[in-house]
Amino acid sequence: MRRTRNAKIVATLGPASSDPETVRRLFLAGVDVFRLNFSHGSADDHRARFAILRELEQRTGRPIGILADLQGPKLRVGTFQDGPVMLVEGQAFRLDLDPAPGDARRAGLPHPEIFAALVPGAELLLDDGRLRLVVEECGPDFAQTRVAVGGWLSERKGVNVPSVVLPITALTAKDRRDLALALELGADWIALSFVQRPEDVAEARALIEGRAAIVAKLEKPQAIERLDEIVALSDAIMVARGDLGVELPAERVPALQKRIVRSCRHLGKPVIVATQMLESMVSAPVPTRAEASDVATAIYDGADAVMLSAESASGKHPVEAVDMMNRIIQQVETDPLYRQLIDASHSAARVGSDAAEGICCAMRRAVAVIRAAAIVCCTSSGHTSLRAARERPESPILSLTPHVATARRLALAWGMHSVHAADVEDVAQMSEAACDAARREGFAQPGQMIVAIAGMPFGTPGTTNLLRIATV
């Protein structure tokens, strides 16, 4: 089963999309990677969804990626004695560690790590930024604030602290339990929420021990300040525009999205653009024109994937949302301007890079000159295929790997059609396997040329050093 587009679709499973038939229809409509949101659902819910996806993979014969998205540290206010309270602009409002129900003058905030990081003048955003408080005085167990933007505040609403680095890990106790479950079930990607610094990624990598790849979700201003370091340490990046748009002015998000995509493309790391892409389709059968344009912009920028959240998890039209996203991508990629923009935004490999970079640079040029029907990558770890995807070549990429885990992870990468195949032992076998796979998977016809890249000795990760042009 072959997709006729380069950019991939990530879709979230939830109450509206967890039965086997709906999952099958989502896959047929265009989903490449399924996201399981560990902020919601029980362990049994996630087990059932994993089972459905692996059974679907067996029936279709196409590797399906599964992304387990950890909740991360959720900071929330406490309870209120008499229901929601109205905070009026200019009034004083106290936050403290007292667990007693709050009122219009104070509320509990059971997060001492916030108070440890606050300084006078810092801002606190409540309820997705709808309310804004400015700290006037603070200590290790309290913050006296002034309401800058008022409104109704109900209990357990979220708290964002955009201006300071919080002394908290990106992995809570709940996240560690969820991570253990996700790894036990065989998740291909683990998404880390509220990453602030490279050390957050390093901590997760030590726990995961190579059993899954890491997606760092960028939704904190502090992460943007160390963007290139975080991208370099991660296996992929998610532009999580929801929380990023809460902690930063909305007008800054589009430019940051482009900056993040550009950084990821330069370093050859898959990048997902996420949140509110087709938000109106949670309730409506068609998106707004602005939403369609938003998806298209991510594709024109060369993002590896775009993601659906509530649209597919709890919306009324999950399959239609995937189908619409698929159609938008296909329309963009047939636009002659798309290729021009992809080429114009391509960054050349750095002088002094490794052999894999050199081989893939040569591959990109060779494909353009001979009009190759396909690029075939023989890869063990996926490194060769990801380096090929970084080049954004004109021809589709067929990735052959003996490891099903690698095939599943590569489902996220731009232009990649990943196949679980037997390993090869020499150049002649590689050429034969590449030609056979290109013909069998519908990428090339007899007489057409393909470009094959691999590493010698075969089966050794990270040894990309061979390019071969073959005729099918």
User: What is the C-alpha to C-alpha distance for residues 425 and 42, in angstroms, rounded to an integer?
Assistant: 45
Residue type, 67: L
Name the helix (H) or strand (E) containing 259. Answer: helix 253-267
User: What is the C-alpha to C-alpha distance for residues 36 and 56, in angstroms, rounded to an integer?
Assistant: 16
Name the helix (H) or strand (E) containing 273. Answer: strand 271-274
Tell me how crowded residue 468 is: count the other CB atoms within 10 A of its CB. 14
94's CB contacts (< 8 A; 6+ apart) are 105, 106, 107, 142, 143, 144, 145
Tell me how crowded residue 287 is: count the other CB atoms within 10 A of its CB. 23
Annotated catalytic residue within 5, 217, 220, 390: 217
User: What is the C-alpha to C-alpha distance for residues 412 and 214, in angstroms, rounded to an integer?
Assistant: 12
Annotated catalytic residue within 12, 145, 169, 275: 275
Residues in the chain: 472
Judge whether 220 counts as a catalytic residue: no
Name the helix (H) or strand (E) containing 23. Answer: helix 20-29
Query: Which two tokens mark 44?
Result: 């049994």
User: What is the C-alpha to C-alpha distance for residues 458 and 373, in angstroms, rounded to an integer?
Assistant: 24
Given a contact cutoff of 8 angstroms between Cβ atoms, the answer to whether 258 and 224 are in contact is no
Q: What is the secondary structure of 56-75 as a DSSP string?
A: HHHHHTS--EEEEE------
Q: By C-alpha distance, which of 461, 378, 445 is closest to 418?
A: 378
Annotated catalytic residue within 76, 157, 174, 258: 76
Annotated catalytic residue within 5, 8, 35, 269: 35
Query: Which two tokens mark 103?
Result: 């009122």
Q: Edge-to-edge, what's the strand order for the sheet holding 464-471?
A: 416-420, 397-401, 374-378, 449-455, 464-471
Q: By C-alpha distance, which of 131, 141, 195, 142 is closest to 169?
A: 195
User: What is the C-alpha to C-alpha distance for residues 400 and 104, in angstroms, rounded to an integer?
Assistant: 62
Q: By C-alpha distance, which of 138, 135, 131 is closest to 86?
A: 131
Judge whether 35 counts as a catalytic residue: yes
Q: In angstroms, what CA-CA distances link 293 with 48, 242, 316, 393?
A: 35, 18, 22, 24
Judge whether 106 counts as a catalytic residue: no
Given a contact cutoff of 8 angstroms between Cβ atoms, the answer to whether 93 and 146 are in contact is yes
The secondary structure of the chain in percent helix, strand, coil, rounded to multiples of 5, reads 40, 25, 35
Residue type, 455: G
Judge whether 463 counts as a catalytic residue: no
Residues classed as catalytic: 35, 76, 217, 275
